[in-house]
Structure 1
Amino acid sequence: MTPTAAGNPPAGRAARIGLIINDGKSLALDTAAAIEARLQAAGLETVRASSASGVVGFANPDQHLRSRGHTACVPAAFDGGLDLAIVLGGDGTVLSAARMTAPIGVPILTINTGHLGFLAEAYLRDLDRVLAQVIARRWTVEERSMLVVSVMRGEQRRWEVLCLNEMALHREPLTSMCHFEIAIGRHAPVDIAADGVILSTPTGSTAYALSAGGPVITPDCPVLQLTPIAPHSLASRALVFSDAEPVTVFPATPERLMMVVDGSAGCYVWPEDRVLVRRSEQPVRFVRLADHEFFQVLRNKLGWGLPHVAKPGNDGADPGSAASSSAS
């Protein structure tokens, strides 16, 4: 979606900045202390929350009722009055932070203290510049779509969570093929025979769906992607379609299945259940400190579009001599 400019706090109120911290990592804790000191010295109020608030985890196999719904991850200390929340951690922390902030519309500024940092906007080496921009309110906001994933039994909601990347549904063990009946909105249901299926957002197209052979989708496309895992047919390939309609997945198999959402939450799905997936009305809002060039992120993080360069031989010869000889 098109980035929007940051606004100013109402007159008479100091800016309020949230801090979402992976408090299991000492580096994130130390960085949070330094950020708090800098922001408070500039007259900004800070509110801390642990990223554990957004960690749903895996439900008990037999009793996985989650009646609170997908807004239950918002921390008690957070509200829509926050100007932004700074997230300290890796990509897993960002996924948790999305569940904590999207329902109340608070944008998140992601600072990587983990490994790959595919969803990171900035790194610790840039911390002074980042905080200067936050204090000066020089940023824009980019919205990314999220999904509401619900496990339904009849009209009863048994489990529900917000999803930024993907929902994966498969049998245990994963190497066992089963059938899925999938209905996309008003369209006729289709049957897919595979080890599992992945339903992902454009943001999630570079995660599990990419590993399963799905295409990369730019974040501004209002679509979803359905990707079979090890399909038992040459005709079953990834499908990209509008996100305007809900998707229902019926497990057409007598055994229970395992559903995993964003790699860190999930529950069992029984034959009498169905999985309902729909676009959330509340997107996650990412703070951008500069123009966000998605293709450059693909290049830097995943090596997409790098030129193919022939490697020199091991015999010590000039790598260009053979080509020169053949051309002469």
Structure 2
Amino acid sequence: MQEFGPMNRLRHPRTIALVGKYHSPEIAESLRRLAEYLYERGASVFIERETAEHIGKLVDLSRWVTCGFNDIGAHADVAIVLGGDGTMLNAARRLARYCVPLVGVNQGRLGFMTDIAREDMLTCMDDLLDGRFTPESRMLLAAEVIRDGRELAENLALNDVVVDKGAIGRLIELELFIDGEFVYNMRSDGLIVSTPTGSTAYSLSAGGPILHPTLTGIALVPLCPHALSNRPVLVDDHADIELRLVQAADARIHFDGQVTLDLQRGDSVRLRRSEHSIRFLHPPGYSYFPMLRQKLHWSEKPKGP
């Protein structure tokens, strides 16, 4: 197989992996049509293994090579994700260390990260194969959970890492340290640590700021703090952030809302910018602010009688 460097991956992608949301007849048919179109254009097509196992029950994918994320990372020039933002978040965490660019085809609802509409999918592929997509780099968070001085777990997050009170309706108490310096003690439902990409997700609903995705700051957004003076704070992306659980009955940590771990009193969560980043590829004409206007319904006139 011909090897491609990072720039050739952008200019002349010839080996393309397809990743899809499971249990959806619409996505199954879209994925099959996309695979056939790319093959006809001379591209080598891989289907992610779990995608093939689930979608293969709905459409015939037997003619395509199936492989896991490790093989996709080793050989694919581009990965096309069909689904919503949740599907993209999962693929991004799995492929981050391989530097494989990602393209999103929106089959879900909002689609902040999957910016190609289903009906435009095939027409956009010519621009992709001819190298006319625009790259955009996004930072990730690296987090580790420390218990009794030992690492209990670690994971990446493209959107956010959330520490919250869990199922019990009792406030948790945590201490925040930045670069080893004590910042505050807070009683609340929890704290969202968000990247700029995640600023339009859970962080936004909790009153956090919208950050342009090309920024590299980290937003700390309290969840229902007991003291109303605890407001969202934006810190430098080089900051080392630590959360120490002082009081917690049923606390949990969530990575992109998809991976969850139970926490205990005394646990410490350490966060920093990951050494890896995600590269999205956008079709010609893409712009962040028109996308926000569309997704958040800005500038719409009120509906009257």
* 8 Å contact kept, 1:141–1:287: yes
* 8 Å contact kept, 2:158–2:197: yes
Please give the alpha-carbon distance, in whole angstroms, between the structure 1 residues aligned to 2:303 and 2:248: 53
Q: 1:171 to 1:126 in 2, by over 3 A?
A: same
1:17 match: secondary structure:
strand
Please give the alpha-carbon distance, in whole angstroms, between the structure 2 residues aligned to 1:89 and 1:51: 14
Q: 1:140 to 1:81 in 2, by over 3 A?
A: farther
What RMSD over aligned residues (CA atoms) do the two structures have, in Å?
A: 2.3
Q: 1:260 to 1:174 in 2, by over 3 A?
A: farther
Q: Highest CA radius of gyration, 1 or 2?
A: 1
Which residue of 2 is the match for residue 8 of structure 1? 8
- Whichever residue aligns with residue 274 of structure 2, its letter is S
Which residue of 2 is the match for residue 285 of structure 1? 279
* 8 Å contact kept, 1:256–1:271: no
Which residue of 2 is the match for residue 198 of structure 1? 192
Please give the alpha-carbon distance, in whole angstroms, between the structure 2 residues aligned to 1:102 and 1:291: 26
TM-score normalised per structure 1:
0.80
Q: Following TM superposition, by how much is the alpha carbon of 1:188 offset from its aligned partner in structure 2, in angstroms? A: 2.5
* 8 Å contact kept, 1:254–1:271: yes
Which residue of 1 is the match for residue 25 of structure 2? 26
Partner deviation per Cα, 1:267-311 (whole Å, 9 max, x = no partner): 11111321111111111110111243222111100123x16x566
1:141 match: secondary structure:
strand
Q: 1:310 to 1:20 in 2, by over 3 A?
A: closer
Q: Sequence identity, in percent?
A: 30
- Whichever residue aligns with residue 220 of structure 1, its letter is T
Please give the alpha-carbon distance, in whole angstroms, between the structure 1 residues aligned to 2:139 and 2:172: 29
For structure 1, the 5+ residue unaligned runs are: 1-5, 54-73, 315-328
Please give the alpha-carbon distance, in whole angstroms, between the structure 1 residues aligned to 2:75 and 2:180: 39
TM-score normalised per structure 2:
0.86
1:264 to 258, 266, 272: 258
Which residue of 1 is the match for residue 240 of structure 2? 246
- Whichever residue aligns with residue 26 of structure 1, its letter is P
Pair 1:36 & 2:35 matched: yes
Q: 1:52 to 1:46 in 2, by over 3 A?
A: closer
Q: How many residues align?
A: 284
1:89 to 79, 83, 86: 83
- Whichever residue aligns with residue 240 of structure 1, its letter is L
For structure 2, the 5+ residue unaligned runs are: 1-5, 53-67
* 8 Å contact kept, 2:104–2:115: yes
Please give the alpha-carbon distance, in whole angstroms, between the structure 1 residues aligned to 2:115 and 2:275: 24
Please give the alpha-carbon distance, in whole angstroms, between the structure 1 residues aligned to 2:248 and 2:168: 15
1:163 to 157, 162, 170: 157
Which residue of 1 is the match for residue 72 of structure 2? 78
2:8 match: secondary structure:
coil
2:23 match: secondary structure:
coil
Please give the alpha-carbon distance, in whole angstroms, between the structure 1 residues aligned to 2:90 and 2:217: 22
Q: Which has the higher helix share?
A: 2
Q: How does 1:177-256 map to 2 (within 5 A)?
A: 177-256=171-250
Q: 1:239 to 1:14 in 2, by over 3 A?
A: closer
2:174 match: secondary structure:
strand
Please give the alpha-carbon distance, in whole angstroms, between the structure 2 residues aligned to 1:51 and 1:184: 39
Please give the alpha-carbon distance, in whole angstroms, between the structure 2 residues aligned to 1:201 and 1:14: 28
